[in-house]
């Protein structure tokens, strides 16, 4: 079972784990010599440096990165099971050993843990920025983030009759998109 059953991926998109590690080692060697990273036009190297400067900021991972780190969620890498789901031991491209939780969609405990862990972020608008994808690199307004989180919170209501209709969601997101395109009025007479 995949972590996100609604997302499908092709087997050829997942590189052999050892091959992936060798490739990453070669890229780090090139980076260490000051030649820049071949990955993503040089962006890969700056991304990790940016996270280390910010201290305890959480890092986002793609499903492909997690799959590579856990060797396609291999049973031999499973280190635990619980109501939340399975926990796998993995190794990131930089060599860091990590534990990856794979959500069990049938279990309620995972949902409850997620709600408990996310509650402090959702109650304090000053912490909304911590939930934004760091790859956006500040290219958003705090008001837009707050609006997007409010829309998200409405969609996550436990009672179905409290959730907005898809028409309401589309309207809210269109408003958010249109507010980004508006320019301040000109002060010329």
Q: Is 101 annotated as a binding residue?
A: yes
The whole-angstrom separation of Cα 81 and Cα 3 is 14
Please enumerate, as own/partner, the contacts of 130-135 that have beta carbons within 8 Å and a separation of 24 or more: 130/57, 130/58, 133/60, 134/47, 134/50, 134/51, 134/57, 134/59, 134/60, 135/47, 135/60
The whole-angstrom separation of Cα 114 and Cα 84 is 9
Q: Which residues pair with 100 in a beta bridge?
A: 88
The whole-angstrom separation of Cα 156 and Cα 184 is 33
The whole-angstrom separation of Cα 170 and Cα 68 is 35
Helix (H) or strand (E) holding 17: helix 17-32
Q: Which residues are annotated as a binding site?
A: 101
Instruction: Please give the annotated binding residues for ATP, written as ranges.
Output: 101
């Amino acid at each position: 079972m995949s972590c996100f059953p609604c997302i499908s991926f092709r087997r050829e998109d997942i590189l052999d784990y050892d091959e992936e590690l060798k490739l990453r080692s070669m890229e780090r060697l090139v980076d260490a010599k000051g030649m820049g990273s071949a990955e993503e036009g040089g962006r890969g190297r700056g991304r990790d440096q940016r996270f280390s400067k910010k201290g305890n900021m959480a890092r986002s991972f793609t499903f492909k990165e997690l799959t590579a780190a856990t060797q396609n969620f291999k049973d031999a890498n499973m280190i635990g099971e619980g109501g939340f789901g399975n926990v796998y031991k993995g190794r990131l491209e930089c060599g860091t050993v990590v534990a990856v939780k794979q959500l069990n969609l049938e279990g309620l405990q995972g949902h409850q843990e997620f709600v408990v862990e996310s509650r402090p972020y959702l109650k304090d608008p000053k912490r909304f920025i911590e939930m934004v994808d760091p790859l956006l690199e500040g290219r958003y307004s705090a008001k837009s983030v707050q609006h997007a989180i409010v829309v998200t919170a409405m969609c996550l209501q436990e009672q179905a009759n409290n959730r907005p209709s898809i028409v309401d969601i589309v309207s809210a997101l269109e408003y958010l998109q249109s507010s980004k395109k508006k320019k301040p009025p000109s002060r010329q007479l």
